[in-house]
């Protein structure tokens, strides 16, 4: 692996036909954080789970921010391309197809940036409590790419208008976006798990 490599965990698939998942943790998480979630929403999928390379007060993240909800957009772009390189290398190393990203909070934001900056890297995405990652995003071609965006009605970090704007941005790029606003805050709920599992199941059924 090259210098773009991330500390990561990889668990091979145990069931044919299940899409590989790219698990992207929130602030302060690591490569172990979302393995359990991945297994719950898509049992049998290959799991690729990197640790963010940016530290904020000792807590791993996938890109720098200037304040709560204010992103260092130059760093967002740089880190998204680094992550794209890592996914490409990991696909060759582990022999997996383009993954579906499952990102929470900061991880969901870098997944959204990756969709906009390198549309071919991901087969789709589950974005949990995501925000618009770039104020001036490039024109991306996400034709038909499936995206599930799950927002929290009482989320103190992500304003409702921001997540709605992200859904519109991705839809305008051609993605097939399902946006659900749940009676939850920023933390994940059982409803997130259920909706994500059903959505992945539908993807598998269509692929079959």
Q: Which residues are catalytic?
A: 105, 155, 186
Distance between CA 52 and CA 187 in Å, rounded? Answer: 19
Both tokens of 14, joined, read 């145990």
Strand 21-24 relative to strand 100-104, pairing: parallel
From the list 14, 4, 196, the residue with the least C-alpha distance to 100 is: 196
**Bridge partners of residue 47, in order along the sequence:** 11, 21
């Amino acid at each position: 692996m090259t210098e773009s490599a991330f500390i990561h965990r990889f668990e091979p698939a145990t069931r044919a036909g299940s899409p590989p998942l790219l698990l992207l943790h929130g602030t302060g998480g690591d490569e172990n954080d979302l393995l359990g979630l991945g297994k719950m929403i898509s049992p049998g999928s290959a799991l690729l789970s990197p640790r963010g390379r940016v530290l904020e007060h000792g807590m791993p993240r996938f890109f720098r921010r200037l304040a709560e909800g204010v992103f260092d957009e130059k760093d967002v772009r740089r880190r998204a391309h680094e992550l794209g390189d890592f996914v490409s290398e990991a696909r060759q190393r582990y022999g997996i197809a383009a993954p579906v990203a499952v990102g929470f909070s900061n991880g969901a934001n870098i997944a959204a940036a990756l969709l906009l900056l390198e549309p071919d890297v991901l087969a789709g995405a589950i974005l949990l409590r995501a925000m618009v990652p770039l104020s001036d995003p490039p024109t991306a071609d996400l034709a038909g790419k499936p995206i599930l965006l799950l927002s929290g009605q009482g989320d103190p970090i992500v304003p409702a208008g921001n997540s709605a704007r992200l859904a519109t941005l991705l839809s305008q790029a051609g993605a097939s976006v399902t946006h659900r606003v749940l009676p939850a805050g920023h933390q994940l709920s059982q409803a997130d798990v259920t909706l994500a599992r059903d959505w992945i199941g539908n993807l598998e059924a269509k692929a079959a």
